[in-house]
Structure 1
Amino acid sequence: MKHRKWPMVAGILGLLVSTFLFLFAQAYWELLLARFLQGFSDSCVWTLGMCLIADSFPLNELGSKMGIVLFFHSCGLVLGAPIGGTLFHNIGYKAPFILCICLAGLDFILRLFLVERRNQPPEWYNDSNETSAVEPSTIVNPAPDSTKEKVKERITILKLLRQNRLIASLVIAFSNGCVFNVFEPTLPVRLSSEWGYNSSQIGAVLLAQAIPTFVASPLAGYITDRYGAKVVAFSTVLICAVSTMLIGIPNQNTTGGIAPLIVLLVIQGFSAFACITPVLPEIAIVVQSLNGDDGDDGQGMSYALFNIAFGLGALVGPLFG
């Protein structure tokens, strides 16, 4: 579609309907429908949100811009749970959902006023001091040169999947989905059974994994813009793999108690978010390489593939865990 705004508006509407269902659901099937709409909304907003960022900034700035986006995503992840828990404990079940409806409603209004750069005249975004060096003769429309006209080949999913750089990005996205979600069904159980921690203490330990993402995403984006995606992705994936493996070692008898586990969670959380940041601009680079005219055909499909890969990892990780 030419406009990315309207599918995003549909996604936010899905989130609003989903949250209202959570608020008033009385039957199990209503909760299932709410979760489905929640997933639909997530896919719309993530996929098209990444496209909007890629539309609005040059490739050599995408790393840092995507890093900022992931930074605010981290803020939501870290703040959402304690705010929701506090509202639930002090006011009641409906309070967190009412807050979410207010936030989604504000988001919906902002989407309606969204101005898409790709659909506006380029001069809107040029420096007013710039002058166009156009020769008078070029104002007259010249006769078209039929020999130079070419029919542009549409970019398909199969064509995208033949790009090695995109495949590498999807593998990292899948791995990241596994790594970040494998701990949800396993680590709380272990902290409870082995260390005897309650829910508040478990939440405090899990923050050790989430808080480093505030630094990881912007830093990884900045380094990506300066030195390229490969340097950041390779080094952070390696660190993430090693730290994830070592998380299984600390126990009650380990010197330092819980401290070694917390240190490993900090390293793992930092590297996991840092390794996914360079993937986002890398996808835009792949799309541009397939569009010889600086177009963006295939960009939405590419970020959709990213979300599918991450979502599969988020499904496989907890099951294997």
Structure 2
Amino acid sequence: MNYLVWALYLGRLLQAIAGSAAWIVCLAILTKKAGTVGGPVVAGVLLEWQGYWSAWSVPLTILLLDIIARLIMIEPSPPTVDSCLENGSSAITHNGAPAAIENTETSPLLSHQVRNSETCSRDGDIRSAAPASGFYCRMLGDARILASVANTIVHSAIIAGFETTFPVHLRQVFNWGPSSVGLIFFTLQVPAIFFGPVSGWLRDRFGIRYPTMAGWILVAPLIWLLGIPGSLNYPGADAKGHGKAIFILSTAGIGMVMPLILGAGFVHTIIVLQDIESKEPNIFGAHGGRSRAFAMNSVGFNVGLMFGPLFSTFLSEAIGYYYMNITL
């Protein structure tokens, strides 16, 4: 039994490492939502109907296909110094004069050699700039970055708290199994797909601050409503009353409002990064600091995923699910 527990923890650790790397490399909200929508539903149905190992067979198969796809993927290589010299020398004659290039009616205005020379020249100028050190000290010293990371941590902690306490609470109150709990996650994620573009439009129209603030204001009463079903303070909101309807509607409402909060920390961090780099070009090196900025928010997201379940389960066992939601 102890061996199985340690194997489970080791698997979760490896999953966290792989997930963080994939998140930083390719941050795509729409494709991430496609996985979070279908994953809990399929896993819940397979777990209830076919058992534990059948539920794990689907992600393992998809992971194998993903590894194969990444191995056969061909990435374009950047121009090297030798290719730059070769392309540059081909456009110049032995006496230093520009080489004559035959032009026709279909010839481009800029020849291939000239474009390569300009590209290599720009790359050489960028590489020649000396990058400044202390990326994280500079970024974390900005109050705007701290607010962005805090938003990411709190959001991930709440989501992780939901995912941890949902199954146990729903089984105790409504006697729901894995498939029914999976449908609750489906209810939580589907509205985010449709209201995500609306959230993006609001951010482009009014900026990051006000939509994010509105999202937190709206999600607070919905979290409170989520704790009402099964609470002794509201006898009519039990399994025989309106408890199921209140829980499902509250979950759908959270799914509608969460896009206003989701990704706000990442987007605001990039805005601040661009503002700093516009004032001090190449301060964070030749390729900028975008990947490190994503990594910084990803660390914050994982911190929330780590402490959110610990905090929520402790409160749920100590003071009950209803008061846990009030605390959140």
TM-score normalised by length of structure 1? 0.68
Question: Match of 1:105, as an amino acid?
Answer: L
The alpha-carbon deviation at position 114 of structure 1 amounts to 5.5
Identity rate, percent: 22
Aligned to 1:310: 301
Tell me, yes or no, if structure 1 residue 272 matches structure 2 residue 231. no
**Residue type matched to 2:63 in 1?**
A
- How many angstroms does 1:235 deviate by? 1.3
- RMSD of aligned C-alpha atoms? 3.6
User: Is the Cα–Cα contact under 8 Å of residues 48 and 178 in structure 2 kept in the other structure?
Assistant: no
- The whole-number CA distance in structure 1 between the counterparts of 2:129 and 2:196 is 41
- Seen in structure 2, the aligned counterparts of structure 1 residues 157 and 205 have a Cα distance that, compared at 3 Å, is same
- The match for 1:293 among 281, 302, 309 is 281
Structure 1 residue 101 and structure 2 residue 60: aligned? yes
Q: Counterparts of 1:317 and 1:182 in 2: how far apart (Å)?
A: 5
Structure 2, unmatched stretches of 5+, are 81-106, 122-127, 313-328
Give the residue type in structure 2 aligned to 1:249.
I
Q: 1:207 to 1:101 in 2, by over 3 A?
A: closer
Alignment: residue pair count: 262
- Please list the CA deviations of residues 32-52 of structure 1 after superposition, one character each: whole Å capped at 9, or x if unmatched: 3322211110111112223xx
TM-score when normalising by structure 2: 0.67
Query: What is the CA-CA distance between 1:120 and the residue it aligns to?
Result: 7.0
Spell out, residue by residue over 1:174-225, the C-alpha distance to the aligned partner (whole angstroms, 9 max, x if none).
1111111112332333322233334433333343222212123333223323
Separation in structure 2 between the aligned mates of residue 150 and residue 185 of structure 1, nearest angstrom: 48
Go from structure 1 to structure 2 and tell me whether the alpha carbon gap of 1:248 and 1:89 turns closer, same or farther (over 3 Å shift): closer
Q: Which aligned pairs between 1:181-200 and structure 2 lie closer than 5 A?
A: 181-200=160-179
- Match in the other structure for 2:189: 210
Out of 261, 278, 292, which is 2:247 matched to?
261
Are residues 1:44 and 2:27 paired? no
Give 5+ residue unaligned stretches, structure 1. Answer: 1-25, 51-68, 122-128, 143-148
Query: What's the offset of the Cα at 1:241?
Result: 2.4
Instruction: Give the match for residue 268 of structure 2.
Output: 282
Q: Which residue of 2 aligns with 1:5?
A: none
**How far off its partner does 1:151 sit?**
4.1
Distance in 1 (CA, whole Å) between partners of 2:32 and 2:197 is: 12
Q: Does the 8 Å CA contact 1:78/1:210 hold for their aligned counterparts? A: yes
Give the direction of change, closer, same or farther, for the CA distance of 1:247–1:44 in structure 2 (3 Å limit): same
**Greater radius of gyration (CA):** 2
- The equivalent of 1:164 in structure 2 is 143
Please identify, of 307-316 and 276-285, the stretch whose mean Cα deviation from structure 2 is larger.
276-285
CA distance in 1, matches of 2:296, 2:236: 44
In structure 2, the partner of 1:178 is: 157
